[in-house]
Structure formats: C-alpha cells, structure tokens
C-alpha cells in the first residue's frame, strides 16, 4: 500500500469510528467533546444527526469547530456530569489502558472523561498497540519546572503554547514497564498537573475502525 493509500485508509477509519459513536448520542444529552483529528469527524456527524444536545469542549480547537457546525457548546461551569463523552486516543492497549494527550489536551480530557457516565473512545486501527510505551504526555506547572522534571526522570518539552489552563506541555520519554505503576508514580509528583495515562476503569467503550469493520 502506498503512503497516500495508507493515509486515506486511516482517515476513513477515523471517520467510521466517529460516525459509529455519534449514533450513541440521543436528544437531550449532555455531551463531553474530546480533541483531535478523530473528534474532528465526530462533530459533523453529530451536527448531521440533528439531535438537540448540550456540549462542553475540551479545547478551544474543538469549541471553535463545534460552534461553526451549530452545536450548542457551553462552559463546564456548573455542569457536574455528562451523559456521554467521546474522544480519541494515541495508544490503546489490549488491557484497556490508553495514552492520550497527543494534542496536549489530556488534563481537560481526563476531567471530562471522569465526569461522564459513559466515556467512549474512538480510533483508527493504528492506535491499537501491544503494550503502552513512551512518550506519555504531561502537563506541568511552570513554577518549579526544572525540579518537577528532575523528579519525573526523562522528559522532553514540547514546542507548543501553554495549555488553556497555563500548564507547560511535556512528555515522559523513559520506560513504561507497568502503566498502572507508572500512572501512580507520575500522579504523585508535585508540580505535575496530569499525565496522559488513562486507566481502563475510566473507559466504557472503545470503538476502533479496522478497514471496513467496526470493533467494539
């Protein structure tokens, strides 16, 4: 398969996974919207369904795209739960562990996923992996940044703007032997706002498109 063919297959898979997830959204639902190129296919699929929903976005990028499509978005504010949240992923392991944050939105994405009755992950087949590996996205406080990075171990800083919440975006690039242990270790580092390891307990459904097949 040529590079162009592989790229267009990936795009078709992203769209298929996104369209499958859109069918789970019903009138009247409060919906958390993730961030990324797969979610970019979800938004028009939701708009096309014509369902009356209230949405909260996990990034300015998603917010802008959702509004342009006429989806009713609002601030997280007083909303304390979602009926459903739908988002992409960078890695999906067989035991359900995820890596998210390729688009640097993992902190907000985790807050939204945790507030959702049903957190649905949508992905093309390239995202399924045998085991979780680095890089693991990080959001760090700028206060004490060098000390925080020293405590974490091998990290690289991304050349991207601060997060909407003022966090520095970095990646942990050391070994990941056990995602649960690594998630616990990272969460215990003062100055680390959040990391991109998402535990299986957070995830209700994983929808992966592989060629013409949809795997749940």
Q: Which residues bind ligand 5RP (CB under 6 A)?
A: 34-38, 87-90, 100-106, 109
Nearest to 34 by CA among 102, 136, 124: 102
Q: What are phi and psi of 27, to 5 degrees?
A: -50, 135
Q: What is the DSSP string of 153-194?
A: -SEEE-SSPPPTTSPEEEEE-S--S-HHHHHHHHHTSTTEEE
Q: Select 147 or 160, whichever has its Cβ closest to ligand 5RP.
A: 160
Q: Identify any residues that bridge with 169 across adjacent strands, giving them in sequence order.
A: 139
Q: Between 35 and 57, name the residue whose CB sits nearer to ligand 5RP.
A: 35
Compute CA distances 13 → 2, 10, 208, 213, whole Å. Answer: 17, 5, 8, 9
**DSSP structural state of residue 120:** E
- Which residue's structure tokens are 């919906």? 31
Min CB(54)–ligand 5RP separation in Å:
21
Nearer to ligand 5RP, 171 or 182 (CB): 171
The structure tokens 């749940």 sit at 216
Q: Please report how close the Cβ of residue 14 comes to ligand 5RP at its closest, in angstroms.
A: 6
To ligand 5RP, the closest distance from the beta carbon of 139 in angstroms equals 10
- Least separation in angstroms between residue 96's CB and ligand 5RP is 16
Of 53 and 105, the one with the shorter C-beta distance to ligand 5RP is: 105
> Would you say 118 and 81 are in contact if contact means Cβ atoms under 8 Å apart?
no
Shortest gap between Cβ of 52 and ligand 5RP (angstroms)?
A: 25
Among residues 13, 64, 74, 109, the one annotated as catalytic is 109
d(CA 95, CA 206) in angstroms, rounded, equals 11
61 versus 151: smaller Cβ distance to ligand 5RP: 61
- Which tokens in the block code for residue 215? 């795997």
Catalytic site includes residue 139 = no
Q: Where in the sequence numbering do the catalytic residues fall?
A: 109
């Amino acid at each position: 398969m040529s590079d162009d063919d592989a790229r267009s297959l990936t795009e078709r898979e992203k769209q298929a996974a996104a369209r499958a997830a859109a069918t789970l959204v019903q009138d009247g639902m409060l919906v958390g919207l993730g961030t990324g190129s797969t979610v970019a296919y979800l938004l028009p699929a939701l708009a096309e369904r014509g369902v009356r929903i209230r949405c909260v976005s996990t990034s300015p990028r998603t917010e802008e795209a959702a509004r342009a499509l006429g989806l009713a978005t609002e601030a997280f504010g007083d909303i304390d739960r979602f009926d459903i949240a739908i988002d992409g992923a960078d890695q999906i392991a067989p035991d359900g562990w995820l890596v998210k944050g390729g688009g640097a939105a993992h902190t907000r994405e985790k807050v939204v996923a945790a507030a959702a009755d049903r957190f649905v992950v949508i992905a093309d087949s390239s995202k399924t992996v045998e085991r979780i590996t680095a890089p693991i996205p990080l959001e760090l406080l700028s206060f004490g940044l060098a000390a925080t990075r020293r405590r974490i171990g091998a990290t690289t800083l991304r050349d991207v703007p601060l997060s909407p919440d003022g966090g520095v975006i970095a990646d942990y690039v050391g070994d990941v032997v056990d995602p649960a242990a690594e998630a616990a270790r990272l969460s215990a580092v003062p100055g680390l706002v959040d990391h991109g390891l998402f535990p299986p307990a957070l995830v209700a459904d994983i929808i992966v498109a592989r060629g013409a097949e949809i795997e749940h």
